[in-house]
Amino acid sequence: MGKFTKRIYITALSFVLFIGWTGESVAQIGMGSGSGGSGAYALEEGERNLKFAAIPIPNYSEVLGFSLGAVGMAYYKLDRHDDNLPPSSTGIFGFFSENNSWIGAAFQTIHYDEDKWRGTLAFGTGSVKYQFNPASLNPGMPDVFLNYTTATDFAYLAGSRQTWQNLYLGLEFVSWSAQVGVDPDLIEIPKERYTGPGLTAEWDARDHIMYPTRGFKVNGGCIFYDETFGADRDFQKLKLIATGYKALGDSTRVLAGRVLSESAFGDVPFSGQSILSGNRNLRGYADGRHRGDSLLVMEAEYRWNFWGKWGAAAFTGVAFVARDLQEMALSDALPAAGFGLRYRMIESYRINARVDVGWGKDDHGIYFSIGEAY
């Protein structure tokens, strides 16, 4: 069985397990996340459609040190009278850290025509100072963490259409650049650009987009970076994600889980590898310390709305990072666990502000954000 086939097999197995775990059929959950039962996104009579959420983001990681940023979001339905249409959103984000890293970005999501159409646009620029272990790339290299800096700009565009029941099929296009300097004058990798189209597929049977309490979602995509589209290297990147949600007794207590798999094939550049990231896939690890062509993450989270707008969460997970699937071993497991606090900022759309503290293997971090981790 080839590496590509094994990735699909693992995610397909996760898909089956999540369906059984939720204990609900697709027919019970409804047509797509937009349907989510009667009036999942209903506004009260006279309630304002346009809603804002903004929070400062003080974070900490072993690599970045302390950082201070901010995220601002605007939420609005393109048809306020459609009680089953999820809100679209416009947002901006930026941060500056103790080690002089910085990022600025803007993003847009669209839900249109009874949620039959979905779209995403994002772009930004930044310079971030990470660490990595050369031994993770080649066992014969030194087993130490080296500092490196990546200067980048990026643009991403994706769109999908509901085709049958909960199935969305779509296209994506990404273009980004990277210039890498290591420790700080040890190695300098010239600036390269990576551009290419991709295919996406998504089966979305959650009861709500912002705060699901039951159902599941499985989505995947493959991007083809190619010189035809202006890329400096030819390689492919496959990403597969399965998430599931189950209410425990009532909707104030929810058990959530996720399996995430990423693989890169071909002439994969250093910056094209998958990285373990506390902000993106497993809280408790600094971005970039653990990297490879293949990444597998499994995690679970218990969410409890304990009083009014206030809630709490406890989470645990494990990750594996390697050059390919065959090299992943239990001895290389990267476990993590932590807890967090939630506050409901926009009740009608179930949007929470959150702060999480996570601990990993010889690592830890603090994370502020709007919306759940998954």
What separation in angstroms does the CA of 2 have from each of 107, 211, 242? 36, 37, 21
> What are the residues whose beta carbons fall under 8 Å from the beta carbon of 6, sequence distance 6 or more?
325
Give the per-residue pLDDT at 62: 84
Q: For residue 169, give the DSSP letter.
A: E
Per-residue pLDDT of the chain (374 residues; tens, 9 = 90+): 444 444 444 434 433 443 344 333 333 333 334 333 347 899 998 999 999 999 998 888 888 889 999 999 999 999 999 999 999 999 999 999 999 999 999 999 999 999 999 999 999 999 999 888 887 667 777 778 888 999 999 999 999 999 999 999 999 999 999 999 887 666 777 899 999 999 999 999 999 999 999 999 999 999 999 999 999 999 999 999 999 999 998 889 999 999 999 999 999 999 999 999 998 999 999 888 899 999 999 999 999 999 999 999 999 999 999 888 777 888 889 999 999 999 999 999 999 999 999 999 999 999 999 999 99
CA distance 200 to 163: 13
Give the per-residue pLDDT at 133: 80
Instruction: Indicate if the alpha-carbon torsion angle 358, 345, 122, 12 is positive or negative.
Output: positive
The owner of tokens 């939420």 is 75
Give the SS3 label for residue 98: coil
> What are the residues whose beta carbons fall under 8 Å from the beta carbon of 321, sequence distance 6 or more?
136, 274, 275, 276, 290, 291, 292, 294, 295, 332, 334
CA distance 310 to 307: 5
CA distance 68 to 155: 24
> What are the residues whose beta carbons fall under 8 Å from the beta carbon of 307, sequence distance 6 or more?
none
- Domain residues for the domain of 141 are 3-370
pLDDT in tens, 249-308: 888 999 999 999 999 999 999 999 999 999 899 999 988 889 999 999 999 999 999 999
Give the SS3 label for residue 130: strand
Give the per-residue pLDDT at 141: 76
CATH number at 307 reads 2.40.160.50
b/e map 330-349, b = 16+ CB within 10 Å: eeeebebbbbbebebbbebb
Q: How many structural domains are present in the chain?
A: 1
195's tokens: 């551009």
- Of 86, 90, 78, give the one whose Cα is nearest residue 54: 90
H helix intervals, the chain: 3-22, 26-29, 32-35
Give the per-residue pLDDT at 249: 87
pLDDT in tens, 90-105: 999 999 999 999 999 9
The owner of tokens 């397909």 is 12
Give the per-residue pLDDT at 184: 64
CA distance 277 to 293: 14
